[in-house]
Amino acid sequence: MKKMFYIAAIMLLTIGMVSCNKEEDTTNNNTNTPSGGTNPGTDPGTTPSVPDGYVDLGLPSGLLWAKCNVGATAPEEFGNYYAWGEVSTKDNYEWSTYIYANGSERTLTKYNTSADYGTVDGKKTLEYADDAAHVELGDGARIPTYEEWEELISGTTSEMTRENEVYGRKFTSKTNGKTIFIPTAGYKYQTGTFDQNGIGIYWSSSLDLDHPYSAKSYRFYTSVSDMSYRDRYYGHSVRAVRPLR
């Protein structure tokens, strides 16, 4: 009897282990989408829905804009700061620590259109490997181009406001009334953080062709809202866009 009891116990334990493994495998199969495929259970004929974390502002390009900065979990949070073309944060933001220069604006090693500023490669827009939004979020996310920032500005009305005591700019779609809030996150220079709750400066993925040591950026404060450019080593905020698909 004891021998039969032990055999039955071992069989039950084995069945339980197989069931656990099978359950984990099933979960993984349901959540992983093969490259170029669709999720199991998704009807290819249905209209795609806007994914969590993004807003459809009804812009002509159809781009979705993220609700939060990269590195943030709420619209009013400042999130991470990145030098242009870098995909990780750091303690010191200056030319000596910038990944695509050998210590100065005259020694660029990537994204350069002028021999006066280092090695010329003709690259004008960030590649995915150098795009912090894409590296952090994946799934088609990326930093908007100069033209896409301009589309946001022209396709919305905007005003300075506050969310949870944080100043920022609220953009309201001219076509569907939906909104996003972009906080005045300030910027990083050397080892300091400046102008938080005072100014917002956000990278585009576009090089400034007239000054290739700089990149195009969107800036705003009080009544100012325009496109500008900043030296690439500064630490600025990143807001992602992605297509609806």
Q: What is the pLDDT of residue 17?
A: 34
- Computed over every residue of the chain, the mean pLDDT equals 86
Residue 178 has pLDDT above 60, yes or no: yes
Say if residues 156 and 182 touch (Cβ distance below 8 Å): no
Residue 228's CB is within 10 A of a number of other CB atoms, namely 13
Paired with 118 in beta bridges are 108
This model's pTM is above 0.85: no
Q: How confident is the model at residue 45 (pLDDT cuts 50, 70, 90)?
A: low
Q: Is it the case that residue 154 has pLDDT exceeding 90?
A: yes
Residue 180 has pLDDT above 90, yes or no: yes
Of 85, 103, 102, the C-alpha closest to 203 is 85
Q: HSE-up of 189 (CA within 13 Å, CB side)?
A: 8
Element (H, E) at 26: helix 2-31
Residue 46: pLDDT band (50, 70, 90) is low
46 φ/ψ angles, rounded to the nearest 5 degrees = -85, 155
Segment 61-105, tens digit of pLDDT: 999 999 999 999 999 999 999 999 999 999 999 999 999 999 999
Q: Each residue of 185-204: pLDDT tens digit? A: 999 999 999 999 999 999 99
Interior/surface letters 128-162, b for 16+ CB within 10 angstroms, e for the rest: eebbbbbbbbeebbbbbbbebbbbbbebbebebee
Residue 240 CA to residue 179 CA, distance in Å, equals 15
